[in-house]
Amino acid sequence: MNQDYPLDVTYAQGQPSGRAGLKQQAVDFVVNERLGFEPSGIGEHCYVQIRKTGANTAWVAENMARYLNIKAFDVNYAGRKDRHAVTTQWLSCHVPGKLMPDFSNMTLAGVEILETRRHDKKLRRGSHAGNEFEIRLRNIQADTEDIERRLTRIADQGFPNYFGEQRFGRGGSNLLAADSLFAGEPVKHQLRDLCLSAVRSYMFNADLSQQLSAGELDDISVPEHCWTASVEVGRGAESGGRTRSTGQANQRGWLYGLARKENSALKSLETRFPHWCEGLRKLDLKAQQRDLWVRPAAFNWRFEGPDLLLSFGLPVGSFATSLIREVVNYGEQ
């Protein structure tokens, strides 16, 4: 953790005393992407569903583009999935024509192709409905009653929708890179969007943490995530697909940027983070909103010897580690 940008945020139930191991093996963290729609079967885009183990999504996309002899930007995906995990997700490849590309000779370490379908639109970031998780927390060292109490409250009331620490890079490296970017120093092109996303995420977390600490969210009520709800797809790096239960609204916070009307929340961020806010305004980024709280779908758990097994679904943009931190202190491999 970088001392300039501490990543600690307020807990909804107080910091847990128990400990457990997370991602000790790839199979301990299983993620299955839910598109929220069916590829039509026709169109210029080939949708490829993959299962990957120990592989980076961007790396898979680059190699798939190379195999198909197309530009890297012609391979798209709805979101990056954890590397140290077993994950399934879809990628879209722009390959016009009636014949489906033959992937039988494409060999990528840790990558298996499950299905291919045609569709008339490419995948965009955040355009999926969400993700399903199956997680094993190893060697639980905690009071079982405390664990059960925490899990039950999350099932009933949800948890703070913090961005996970992985968004900020190791030791907050993405935040430090953003400082360099805003100071006019050269930053690698592929790191630029990560920097901008990291500072907006950090400010969102800080604001949510402050509200939680002040008791402003004690009575917040959130519907369970619904896979069949409508998905609103906005524009921009942070917009994503917003899955909403019909007729029920969630309290939302701000990802800093330019807004049509001034509001106190954005002004407060400008006071707390003037350098970042000035840099984002100069880049003409638009303000967007994000749910402050999220409630997992189909949340189940059981103890298996010294381990705790969790399964649940989360909407796009929500982090499983933000749920887990409310249950135990965890250490990744």
* 261: helix, strand or coil: coil
Q: Comparing C-alpha atoms, which of 309, 303, 329 is closest to residue 136?
A: 309
154 backbone dihedrals φ, ψ, rounded to 5°: -65, -40
Residues 135 and 147: their CA atoms lie apart, in Å, by 15
Q: Which amino acid is at 105?
A: N
Q: Comparing C-alpha atoms, which of 213, 210, 214, 199 is closest to residue 273?
A: 199
* 266: helix, strand or coil: helix
Known active-site residue 82: yes
Cα dist from 183 to 176, 237, 281, whole Å: 11, 22, 14
DSSP element (H, E) containing 163: none
Catalytic residue (choose from 4, 8, 28, 82): 82
The DSSP bridge pattern shows strands 29-34 and 86-94 to be: parallel
The DSSP symbol for 85 reads: S
Q: Comparing C-alpha atoms, which of 34, 5, 51 is closest to residue 205?
A: 5
- Residues contacting residue 174 through CB under 8 Å, at least 6 positions apart: 167, 168, 191, 194, 195, 197, 198
Tell me how far apart the 2 most distant CA atoms of the chain are, in Å. Answer: 59
CB atoms within 10 A of CB 332: 13
DSSP element (H, E) containing 203: helix 189-213
Q: Comparing C-alpha atoms, which of 15, 27, 42 is closest to residue 330?
A: 15
Provide the annotated active-site residues.
82
